[in-house]
Structure 1
Amino acid sequence: MRSGITRRWLCGSLLMTVLLVLLVEGMFLYSCTRSYYNSVQQTMYRRFSSISGQLKMYTGDTAQKASASRSVALRRMVEQFSDKDKYEFMLLDSYGSVIASSSGTDAEGILTSADFEQAQETGDGMGVAIYHTDSSEMVMAVCCLVPYAAEDVAAMRLVTSLTLVQNQLKNVFLISIVVVITILGFTVASGLYFVRSIVVPLGQVERTAASIARGELDVRLPVTGDARDEVDRLRGTINRMAEGLEETEKMKNEFISSVSHELRTPLTSIRGWVETLRTLDDPEDENYRKGLEIINNETARLYNMVEELLDFSRLQNGRLKMSCHPLDLVAELTDAVLFCEARIQREGLLLSYSEPEEMIPVYADPNRLRQVFINILDNAIKYSAPGGRITVKIWQGEYKAFIEIIDQGRGIPPEDLENVKTKFYKGSNSVRGSGIGLALVDSIMTALDGTLDLKSTLGRGTVVTLGLPIYKR
């Protein structure tokens, strides 16, 4: 992970930053170079402008005398040139050859004809050339055509060394390189710190997720509680996932233990009575008939439990299909109450139910609806003590039909009330069962676009309210 994120950062953000800094560095150095060269060039231009102004004052009786005067003046300027340590001042003929030079030589080895040729081609009569001499010294030559006739003098040239300029540019280059290295160093350091601030927590999350995948559900990530930190929120989400998985695993284990116990009890009873029946040869014997009845009841109990488990599994996987059609909710509820009435009486309980005269149309699956009613009535019977009352009510609202099943049993503790509809959950006050009855009922009601509400008071009983939309053509 560290390599992947760091590589993407190097190939993305850092590479773009380096290219941008190098581009700015190149533009800066080019700008500085042009600025220094233009400064030197403009200084020599001003020199030529001053000389041209002086030549304008030379006049004579004839143009020939004026031309001779200018030629003499130019030669005198060359001989008396005061900045010989900075510039080489030359006079050129019409062929570009040196007529006179401030150093007294023909300046062999430092000349080029590029400036003279450029001056002849441009409109302002100026030409510039930057080149290396035979001694590898960089110089700048600026040539200016003489604006007035001066006998054989056709142009003036100033040549200066760029050694000082080059040294200054080297200093600027070194300073800019230091600045660039500092910027890139800061960028790399801050980037690595930022990447590390992401990579390290993600690596921790990865290791924790791998531990959870191996079944170590008790591991947790440290959180700071900062809602603005995305990584911290991710750690909190992983922790909540682990807590949920741990709770689910705990409920699953309890469910397996509970179901194993629930299956063992009827199987033990069946096995015991089968062994007893083997010793009885008389079908008229009271114990023979009692044994067959118990075996039948326990087999039915096992069958119902397995069917409940299969239905819940199908419903969770989306394989349980609903065969819905319009039906009378009152008739379905009455059938379920009559089915449980005999058992309610056997358990010593009282039943209170008044069947409405008018039908209540709903759109539902009658088999699943009956399963919901019997499951809730079964819970009411299991959690009620002898002598208690089970009350069943049904009424029609404006948009929904409501069924209320009330018992006077032991009730549900407040800490268990919000979890009793969770699959595999068995509260501290629960009795025998698989722990998925209410979860199955809630799933069926949700599939039927209905509702399931629970209210309970510990030691006084529970009220279960079912709601289904009224069917209208």
Structure 2
Amino acid sequence: MRSGITRRWLRGNLLITVLLVLLAETMFLYNYTRSYYNSVQQTMYRRFSSVSGQLKMYTGDTVQSTAATRSVALRRMVEQFADKDKYEFMLLDSYGGVIASSSGTNADGIVTGIDFEQAQEASDGLGVAVYRTQSGELVMAACYLVPYAAEDVAAMRLVTSLTLVGAQIKNAIAVSVVIAAVILAFTVMSGLYFIRSIVVPLGQVERTAASIARGELDVRLPVTGNEHDEVDRLRGTINQMAEGLEETEKMKNEFISSVSHELRTPLTSIRGWVETLRTLDDPADENYRKGLEIINNETGRLYNMVEELLDFSRLQNGRIRMDCRPLDLVAELTDAVLFCEARIQREGLVLSYTEPEEMIPVYADPDRLRQVFINIMDNAIKYSAPGGRITVKLWAGEYKAFAEIIDQGRGIPPEDLENVKTKFYKGSNSVRGSGIGLALVDSIMTALDGTMDIKSTLGRGTVVTLGLPLYHKA
């Protein structure tokens, strides 16, 4: 993981940073060098301007005498030139040849005609050239055409060494390279620190996720509770996932154990009575008839349990089809109450139900709706003690119809109440069953755009309220 993220960072962020630093370095050195060269060039131009100003003041009786006077003045300036250690001052003829120089030589090996040619072509009579002499020294030569007649003197030239300028530029290069190296080093260190701050937590997440995938559902990641930290929120999400999977695994195991027990009880009864019936030859024997009745009841119980499991599986996977149509909710609920009435009486319970006189239209699947009512009343019967009362109410609101089943049974503990609609959940106060009855009811009501609300007081009973939208014919 680390190499992958680091590689992407090197290809992206660091590469762009290096290119930007190189571009800034190049622009800085170019501008720095040009600034020094322009400074030297402007200094020589100012000297030419000073000499031109002096030549303007020389006059004579005739044009020839004035030109001669200027020529003599220029030669004197060359001879008396004070900055010989910095510049070579030359006078040039109309062909670019050296007439006089401040060093007293013809300056062989240190001059070129490029600056003179540029001066002749330039409108301001100025030309400049940077080149290396025969000895390899880098110099700058500036040439200026004399604006006034001065006999054979056609131009002036100043030549200066760029050795000191080169040294300054080298120092600037060294300093800028150090600065660029510091910037790149800081970028690399900060980038690697940032990558480490991401990679290390992601490595923890990866290892924990792998542990969860192997079935180690008790592992957890450390969290700081910082809501602004995306990695910390990811840790919290992984922990929630692990807790959910652990709870689901626990409920699954409890469900398997519960269903195994629920299946074993009727199967044991059936097997026992089958063995008993095999020893009886008289169909008129009371035990024979009793055995057949028990086998029939237990078989029906097994069938209902399997159908409940299959229905829940189909609802969860979206494979069950609702055959909805306009219904009278009063008739559907009354049929379900009549179906459970005999069992309520056998259990020694009292049924209280007053059928509404007017029909209440809803749009639903009659088979699923009947399944919902019977499931809720079956729970009310199972959790009620003999002598208790089961009350069924039905009424229509402005937009919804409501059915309420109230029992006076043992009730649901508060810690179990919020989980009773969760699949496979069996509370501490539960009796026999698969643990998916209420989850199935809730799924059916949701598919019918309805609601199921459960309120319970431990030791006093439970109230289940079912709501369905009223049907209005278009």
TM-score range with shorter-chain normalisation? over 0.9
Once the 2 structures are TM-superposed, how far is the Cα of residue 258 of structure 1 from its aligned partner?
0.3
SS for the counterpart of 1:153 is coil
Partner amino acid, structure 1, of 2:236 = G
- Residues 234-383 of structure 1: pairs in structure 2 closer than 5 A: 234-383=234-383
Partner amino acid, structure 2, of 1:191 = G
Distance between the aligned counterparts of 2:327 and 2:57, measured in 1?
Answer: 123
Once the 2 structures are TM-superposed, how far is the Cα of residue 184 of structure 1 from its aligned partner?
1.1
Distance between the aligned counterparts of 1:133 and 1:284, measured in 2?
Answer: 137
Distance between the aligned counterparts of 1:51 and 1:178, measured in 2?
Answer: 44
Once the 2 structures are TM-superposed, how far is the Cα of residue 447 of structure 1 from its aligned partner?
0.5
The runs of 5 or more residues in structure 1 that have no matched partner are: none
TM-score w.r.t. length of structure 1: 0.99
Alignment partner, residue 193 of structure 1: 193
Alignment partner, residue 167 of structure 2: 167
SS for the counterpart of 1:319 is coil
Once the 2 structures are TM-superposed, how far is the Cα of residue 24 of structure 1 from its aligned partner?
1.2
Partner amino acid, structure 2, of 1:455 = K
Distance between the aligned counterparts of 2:27 and 2:94, measured in 1?
Answer: 40
Once the 2 structures are TM-superposed, how far is the Cα of residue 4 of structure 1 from its aligned partner?
1.6
Distance between the aligned counterparts of 2:368 and 2:352, measured in 1?
Answer: 23
Report Cα offsets for 1:343-372 as digits up to 9, x if no partner: 111111111111111110000000000000
Partner amino acid, structure 1, of 2:280 = L
SS for the counterpart of 2:221 is coil
Distance between the aligned counterparts of 1:438 and 1:285, measured in 2?
Answer: 41
Distance between the aligned counterparts of 2:323 and 2:291, measured in 1?
Answer: 38
Q: Percent identity?
A: 86
Alignment partner, residue 67 of structure 1: 67
Distance between the aligned counterparts of 1:290 and 1:211, measured in 2?
Answer: 55
Distance between the aligned counterparts of 2:43 and 2:67, measured in 1?
Answer: 27
Alignment partner, residue 13 of structure 1: 13
Distance between the aligned counterparts of 1:472 and 1:5, measured in 2?
Answer: 60
Report Cα offsets for 1:187-212 as digits up to 9, x if no partner: 11111111111111111111111111
Once the 2 structures are TM-superposed, how far is the Cα of residue 80 of structure 1 from its aligned partner?
1.1
Distance between the aligned counterparts of 1:295 and 1:132, measured in 2?
Answer: 117
Alignment partner, residue 77 of structure 2: 77
- Residues 399-418 of structure 1: pairs in structure 2 closer than 5 A: 399-418=399-418
Distance between the aligned counterparts of 2:110 and 2:432, measured in 1?
Answer: 112
Alignment partner, residue 458 of structure 1: 458
Alignment partner, residue 136 of structure 1: 136
Distance between the aligned counterparts of 2:294 and 2:83, measured in 1?
Answer: 131
SS for the counterpart of 1:465 is strand
Alignment partner, residue 51 of structure 2: 51
Distance between the aligned counterparts of 1:147 and 1:470, measured in 2?
Answer: 109
The runs of 5 or more residues in structure 2 that have no matched partner are: none
Distance between the aligned counterparts of 1:178 and 1:78, measured in 2?
Answer: 45
Alignment partner, residue 428 of structure 1: 428
Partner amino acid, structure 2, of 1:67 = A
Distance between the aligned counterparts of 1:383 and 1:106, measured in 2?
Answer: 126
Distance between the aligned counterparts of 1:134 and 1:385, measured in 2?
Answer: 121
Partner amino acid, structure 2, of 1:31 = N
Alignment partner, residue 388 of structure 2: 388
SS for the counterpart of 2:46 is helix
Report Cα offsets for 1:1-29 as digits up to 9, x if no partner: 21121111111111111111111111111
How many residue pairs get aligned? The number is: 473
SS for the counterpart of 1:120 is helix
Distance between the aligned counterparts of 1:17 and 1:107, measured in 2?
Answer: 49
SS for the counterpart of 2:327 is strand
Once the 2 structures are TM-superposed, how far is the Cα of residue 100 of structure 1 from its aligned partner?
0.8
Partner amino acid, structure 2, of 1:281 = D
SS for the counterpart of 1:84 is coil
TM-score w.r.t. length of structure 2: 0.99
1:205 equivalent in alignment to 2:205:
yes
1:469 equivalent in alignment to 2:469:
yes
Once the 2 structures are TM-superposed, how far is the Cα of residue 450 of structure 1 from its aligned partner?
0.4
Report Cα offsets for 1:30-83 as digits up to 9, x if no partner: 111111111111110111011111111111111111111111111111111111
Distance between the aligned counterparts of 1:259 and 1:349, measured in 2?
Answer: 27
Partner amino acid, structure 1, of 2:66 = A
Distance between the aligned counterparts of 1:205 and 1:456, measured in 2?
Answer: 41
Distance between the aligned counterparts of 2:276 and 2:112, measured in 1?
Answer: 129
Distance between the aligned counterparts of 1:149 and 1:326, measured in 2?
Answer: 119
Partner amino acid, structure 1, of 2:53 = G
Distance between the aligned counterparts of 1:318 and 1:133, measured in 2?
Answer: 92
Distance between the aligned counterparts of 2:310 and 2:110, measured in 1?
Answer: 103
Distance between the aligned counterparts of 1:322 and 1:293, measured in 2?
Answer: 34
SS for the counterpart of 2:387 is coil
Distance between the aligned counterparts of 1:373 and 1:460, measured in 2?
Answer: 21
Distance between the aligned counterparts of 1:132 and 1:243, measured in 2?
Answer: 80
Distance between the aligned counterparts of 2:428 and 2:106, measured in 1?
Answer: 115
SS for the counterpart of 2:160 is strand
